[in-house]
Amino acid sequence: MPATLPDPAGPRVGLFVTCLVDAMRPGIGFAALQLLEEAGCRVEVPQGQTCCGQPALNSGDDRDAADLARQTIAAFEHCDHVVLPSGSCAGTMVHAYPELLAHDPAWAPRARALAAKTHEITSFLVDVMGYRPQGRRLDATATYHDSCAGLRELGIAAQPRALLAEVEGLQMRPLEGNDVCCGFGGTFCVKYPRISDAITTEKAQAIERTAADILLAGDLGCLMNMAGKLHRRGAATRCFHTIEVLAGRADGPAIGEEG
Amino acid sequence: MDAPQLAFKERAAAALADGALKIAIERTTGNAERKRAAAVAAFPEFEAARARGKAIKDHVIAHLDHYLEMFERNATAAGAQVHWAADDAEARAIVTRICLDAKARIVTRSKSMLGEEIGLPHALADAGIERVETDLAEHIIQLAGERPSHIVWPAMHRTREQVAQLFMSGHDPAPAADDPATMVQSARRILRAKFLGADVGISGANFLVADTGATCTVTNEGNAELTTTPPRIHIVTAGIEKLVPSTAHAFALLRLLVRSATGGEMTQYTTFHHGPKRAGDADGPEEKHIVLVDNGRTRMLGDEFRAMLRCIRCGACMNHCVVYRQIGGHAYGGTYPGPMGAVLTPVLDGLAQSRDLAHACTMNGRCAEVCPVGIPLPTLLRAWRRRSWRERLEPGSVRAGLGLWAMVARRPRLYRLASRIGVRALRLMGRRGWVRSLPLAKGWTAYRDMPRPSGRTFMEQYRAEQAGRRTPE
């Protein structure tokens, strides 16, 4: 990979790695760093970050969710932009933080300010930075699943496809039900595992019908769910986060492969 | 938690194990999804119509008292008798008393989810009154002794093959063949006799028109007209949220309702019932009663579920719900299934009985995307999760686990340490890239493998790299 020096005049971008990427697939975080720097950003990884708070938020525990919102705001508000390799966590910051802190006079304006400069990474690269990857090649067929939060909370659909179209040799195949939930749903998949499994099985079958070599998506939670199901079913589909392919990292191990 | 939670999970498990149910659900909802998409695509003003529909409903909800009084005044002027029911028990009592006063032996009923909500079928049976369901799907449900599983297609959980069996054993004489046309003919023959012999006809209302006092029903079978016209008495049971200011507003909402429900532009039958038979009318009931039912609705006016009062009962949310499409309507355990039912059932039956419903949702947002009146269903489900948390209805293990996690997540240094330990532990549990069994997350590994982490967190690797690559800022 070409090492690019950060542009000293570029915008100051805070990378929120997300708790799943931090623990389960650090390569996605490094892909984000690389792409943001290629796009001309000065990237930093604020050390005050942990999790965006979704587990608490989705469990109805608004107090803990609000605490994590404050922590995240404090860690990132000095940046020009906050960028995440996840539509789901970005959606939480954009939509849930201002709601969670709406009645906190000290924090409500800070939450709104953070929300206004928070972006999912593919939309940031395309819509804000006008970035297109150059010199990437991957001879493979791939299909793309639209993760729900990114699609419906942030309108992310065209951007990842536009970026993937720049990868030479990569043939995209349409996925039937590409905008239908994969059955992950955060804690849903362990609280109601049978229902989740029934949904995920249908998603896996649709992916298998494409006969694509690679499954791509923009959220690691959904990817782990689909990859884990495909593997359990004995499918050979390799699963990557969209930005791993964009950063030229698809020659490395896919999710569940060991290098 | 306990009993209700187990009950929901058991019902869901039974539904998941029922192959015929899956076929039936997929046929109906798949079809509905395709037809709605085509109808919306062919209606360029759909978004504008949706904004207008939402505005109409919001306006009525904000001035509910005004329009209720206007409706009562105009309905009374048209000759109807208006009754007010604060809850389901009052509504049942009012309807039963009217039937008993009229010495009714046979009551026909056209499909009404409000009737199901207030428990009318049982109340009529308890009063010794023969109830005849005249909607074809409700007729199927009645033969099977079941409750509706969908608000638009109450019998959608039954395949046509199963319906044929029900008709063969439930119709006298049995239908001559099991093709749909012959079966419908058989139902028609049986129902015709009842239509003409009924003493009372009970319908719901899709709209209550305030400035005329009319009640509006929409059907594709014409059974509502045969239920409301021949009998001596017509009773309407309707939720107070069905109000619209005028007929024009009803039509604005009809354009959304029909497209969202069936993908049609208009129902086969759309009738505005305006009072009882007048002098000189060729037909019509001698008495018309309208029972306006609150049953929790005014309470919703003042809380975070107010937006739910916009619901026009089209069923699009359930047709597009991944959970509903796996488990069907009965698993939800309430009158109303799917996303709208998951919001309404705790209002009607209590949160303690139904807390699972708000959690058995992936929050994917497709229901809100297709809702013709823009109800933010995931937001409302999250509001129930919040109440459930506040009222300590969540299992102790969930509360403790989340509390511990949040305590760590609020401390970044501790969090990093815990993550480092966690990913190493998780790595030790797997082989060749995957973890096949996790004692603390059996819900995951029972059905799918867990990718084995590389063993070092992003933060560890990043900081090591930073130390070598740059001067820390």
A96 in Cβ contact with A153 (< 8 Å): no
Alpha helices (runs of H) in B262-365, residue ranges in sequence order: 297-301, 316-319, 324-327, 338-349, 351-359
- Tokens 């970026």 belong to A163
Provide the shortest C-alpha distance from residue A129 to chain B (in Å). 24
Mean pLDDT of all residues in A72-93 = 98
Alpha helices (runs of H) in B80-151, residue ranges in sequence order: 88-101, 113-117, 120-126, 136-144
CA atoms of B7 and B16, how far apart (whole Å): 14
Provide the pLDDT confidence category of residue A36 given band limits of 50, 70 and 90. very high
B449–A44 C-beta distance less than 8 A: no
Per-domain boundaries in chain A: 12-127, 136-246
Q: What is the pTM of this model?
A: 0.95
Query: Which of A61, A72, A178, A244 is the best residue to mutate to test the B interface, defined by the most B CB atoms within 10 Å of its own CB?
Result: A61
CA atoms of A85 and A31, how far apart (whole Å): 9
Provide the shortest C-alpha distance from residue B427 to chain A (in Å). 10
Q: Of A26, A58, A194, which is closest to B16 when you measure between CB atoms? A: A194
Using 70 as the pLDDT threshold, list the residues of chain B that sit under it.
1-6, 470-473
Summarize pLDDT for B362-374 with one digit per residue, the tens: 999 999 999 999 9
Chain A residues with CB-CB distance to B426 below 8 A: 23
Residue B13's CB is within 10 A of a number of other CB atoms, namely: 15
Chain B residues with CB-CB distance to A198 below 8 A: 16, 326
Provide the shortest C-alpha distance from residue B106 to chain A (in Å). 42
B9–A228 C-beta distance less than 8 A: no
Summarize pLDDT for A170-200 with one digit per residue, the tens: 999 999 999 999 999 999 999 999 999 999 9
- Would you state the CATH architecture of domain B43-295? 3-Layer(aba) Sandwich (3.40)
Provide the shortest C-alpha distance from residue A132 to chain B (in Å). 25
B253 in Cβ contact with B312 (< 8 Å): yes
Extract the runs of DSSP E, i.e. beta strands, from A158-249.
Answer: 168-173, 214-217, 238-241
Q: What is the DSSP string of B373-401?
A: T---HHHHHHHHHHHHHHTT-S-HHHHHH
Query: Could you tell me which of B109, B115, B164, B152 has the C-alpha nearest to residue B132?
Result: B109
Q: Of A45, A183, A258, which is closest to B433 when you measure between CB atoms? A: A258
B462–A199 C-beta distance less than 8 A: no
Strands B207-209 and B214-219: antiparallel
Residue B441's CB is within 10 A of a number of other CB atoms, namely: 15
**Furthest-apart CA atoms within chain B: distance in Å:** 97
B443–A189 C-beta distance less than 8 A: yes
Provide the shortest C-alpha distance from residue B257 to chain A (in Å). 23
Chain B residues with CB-CB distance to A19 below 8 A: 409, 419
Q: How far apart are the first and last CA of chain B?
A: 51
Summarize pLDDT for B361-411 with one digit per residue, the tens: 999 999 999 999 999 999 999 999 999 999 999 999 999 999 999 999 999
Q: What is the b/e burial string over B456-469, where b = at least 16 CB atoms within 10 angstroms of the residue's CB?
A: ebbbbbbeeeeeee
Q: Of A33, A56, A256, which is closest to B406 when you measure between CB atoms? A: A56
Chain B residues with CB-CB distance to A229 below 8 A: 447-448
Provide the shortest C-alpha distance from residue B431 to chain A (in Å). 10
The predicted structure's pLDDT at residue B471: 53
Chain A residues with CB-CB distance to B361 below 8 A: 185, 188
The predicted structure's pLDDT at residue A47: 96
DSSP A85: S
Q: What is the DSSP string of B17-31?
A: T-HHHHHHHHHHHHH
B132 in Cβ contact with B107 (< 8 Å): yes
Q: Of B388, B409, B423, which is closest to A60 when you measure between CB atoms? A: B388
B8 in Cβ contact with B291 (< 8 Å): no
B422–A197 C-beta distance less than 8 A: no
A200–B446 C-beta distance less than 8 A: no
B406–A23 C-beta distance less than 8 A: no
Contacts of A240 (CB under 8 A, 6+ apart): A214, A215, A216, A223, A249, A250, A254, A255
CA atoms of B358 and B383, how far apart (whole Å): 9
ipTM above 0.85, yes or no: yes
Spatial strand order of the sheet with B287-293 comes to B81-85, B287-293, B233-239, B200-203, B106-109, B130-133
A149–B447 C-beta distance less than 8 A: no
Question: Quick one: CA torsion of B253, B258, B259, B264, rounded to 10 degrees?
Answer: -140
Q: Of A58, A59, A180, which is closest to B322 when you measure between CB atoms? A: A180
Residues of chain B with CATH 3.40.50.10420: 43-295
Q: What chain A residue is nearest to B320 in terms of C-alpha separation?
A: A180
CA atoms of A101 and A104, how far apart (whole Å): 5
Q: Of A179, A199, A253, which is closest to B326 when you measure between CB atoms? A: A199
Angle between helices B2-16 and A193-210 (to 10 degrees): 30
Provide the shortest C-alpha distance from residue A27 to chain B (in Å). 8
The predicted structure's pLDDT at residue B141: 95
Chain B residues with CB-CB distance to A180 below 8 A: 322, 364, 366
B113 in Cβ contact with B204 (< 8 Å): yes
| Burial zone of A189 (CB within 10 Å; 0-12 exposed, 13-18 middle, 19+ buried) | buried
B359–A71 C-beta distance less than 8 A: no
Question: Quick one: CA torsion of B65, B66, B68, B71, rounded to 10 degrees?
Answer: 170
Summarize pLDDT for B116-173 with one digit per residue, the tens: 999 999 999 999 999 999 999 999 999 999 999 999 999 999 998 899 999 999 999 9
Chain A residues with CB-CB distance to B34 below 8 A: none
Mean pLDDT of all residues in A46-75 = 97
CA atoms of B130 and B171, how far apart (whole Å): 16
The predicted structure's pLDDT at residue B1: 38
The predicted structure's pLDDT at residue A7: 72
Query: Which of A16, A76, A196, A220 is the best residue to mutate to test the B interface, defined by the most B CB atoms within 10 Å of its own CB?
Result: A196
Record: fold of A136-246:
Rossmann fold (3.40.50)
Q: Of B9, B366, B454, which is closest to A26 when you measure between CB atoms? A: B454
The predicted structure's pLDDT at residue B222: 86
Query: Which of B29, B304, B317, B364 is the best residue to mutate to test the A interface, defined by the most A CB atoms within 10 Å of its own CB?
Result: B364
A194–B12 C-beta distance less than 8 A: yes
Q: How far apart are the first and last CA of chain A?
A: 17
Provide the pLDDT confidence category of residue A9 given band limits of 50, 70 and 90. confident
Residues in chain B: 473
Query: Could you tell me which of B164, B187, B152, B179 has the C-alpha nearest to residue B31?
Result: B152
DSSP A150: I
Q: Of B410, B419, B452, which is closest to A67 when you measure between CB atoms? A: B410
Mean pLDDT of all residues in A213-217 = 98
CA atoms of B132 and B149, how far apart (whole Å): 19
B216 in Cβ contact with B272 (< 8 Å): yes
Summarize pLDDT for A138-162 with one digit per residue, the tens: 999 999 999 999 999 999 999 999 9
Q: What chain A residue is nearest to B422 in terms of C-alpha separation?
A: A23
- Which pair of structure tokens corresponds to residue B462? 């990043």
CB pairs under 8 A between A and B: 196
